[in-house]
Amino acid sequence: MNGLKKRSFSLSGHRTSVALEEEFWVVLETEAKNTGRSLAGLIRSIDETRGSRALASALRIHALAVARTNI
Q: What is the pLDDT of residues 1-56, one digit of tens each?
A: 459 999 999 988 999 999 999 999 999 999 999 999 999 999 999 999 999 999 99
Residue 70 has pLDDT above 90, yes or no: no
Region at 8 (left for phi over 0; alpha for psi -120 to 50; beta for the rest) = beta
pTM summary value: 0.89
pLDDT in tens, 51-66: 999 999 999 999 999 9
Confidence at residue 20, expressed as pLDDT on a 0 to 100 scale = 97
Strand, helix or coil for residue 71? coil
Whole domain around residue 46: which residue ranges? 4-69
For the chain, how many structural domains are there in total?
A: 1
